[in-house]
Amino acid sequence: MRNQLKKIERLDPVIEIKQKRVDEEASFLGEIRREKAKMESDLVSWQQRYLDGVARLNVLRESGNRSMLAALESAVDHARETLFSLFQRLKEVDGIEAAQMIQLNMAQRELSAVERLQEVYRQRFRKDLGRKEQKGLDEIALRRFLQSRG
C-alpha cells in the first residue's frame, strides 16, 4: 500500500514539470502567432501600398507627365521588394508555427501519458484498498459469527 502511494506521489513532480513544459510550448506558440498576425497585417498594408503605387504609376504614365515617374517607379519597386520579403518571412514563420505546434502536441501527449499512468496507479490503490477493507470486514463478521456460536 505504501509502495503504491509512493508511486502516485512520485508522479506529482513529473506532472508539474510536464505541465510547465506544455504551458511554455503554448506560450511560445502564442508569441509566434502574435508575430504572424502582425506580419499578416504588415503584408496587407504593403500590398495596398504597392497596388496604390501601381495605380498612380499607370495614371502618371497615361498623363504624359514624366517628371515624377522615376521616383514613383522606385517607390513601387521598394513596396514590391518589401512585400516579397514579408511574404518570404511569413512563409518561414508558418514553418516555425507548424514545428511549434508539433512540439506542443508532443508535450501534451507526454503530460497525458503521465496523468494516465498516475490514474492507473490510483485505481489500483483504490481497488487494493477496497479489497483490504472487504477482507477486514469479512474477518470481523467471521469473528462475530464464531463468538456467537461459541
Tally of domains within the chain: 1
pLDDT tens figures, 9-20: 999 999 999 999
Mean pLDDT of the chain: 94
Pairwise CA distance, residues 90 & 38, whole Å: 10
Residue 116 pLDDT = 97
CATH number at residue 18: 1.10.287.1700
Pairwise CA distance, residues 25 & 31, whole Å: 10
The whole-number average pLDDT for the span 22-30 is 98
Place of cell 518589401: 82
Residue 125 CB contacts under 8 Å (≥ 6 apart), including other chains: 1, 4, 5, 8
CA-CA-CA-CA torsion sign (70, 72, 76, 82): positive
1 pLDDT above the threshold of 90: no
The whole-number average pLDDT for the span 41-56 is 96
pLDDT tens figures, 76-100: 999 999 999 999 999 999 999 999 9
- Asked whether 21 and 114 are in contact (CB, 8 A), the reply is no
Question: What 3-state class would DSSP assign to 94?
Answer: helix
Q: Which amino acid is at 44?
A: V
Query: Among 48, 45, 54, 52, which Cα is nearest to 73's?
Result: 54
- Residue ranges making up the domain that contains 139: 2-149
Residue 83 pLDDT = 96
- Percent of the chain whose predicted confidence (pLDDT) is above 90: 83
The whole-number average pLDDT for the span 19-39 is 98
The pTM is what? 0.76
E-state strands within the chain = none
- Asked whether 72 and 53 are in contact (CB, 8 A), the reply is yes
27 pLDDT above the threshold of 80: yes
Res. 42 pLDDT band, cuts 50 70 90: very high
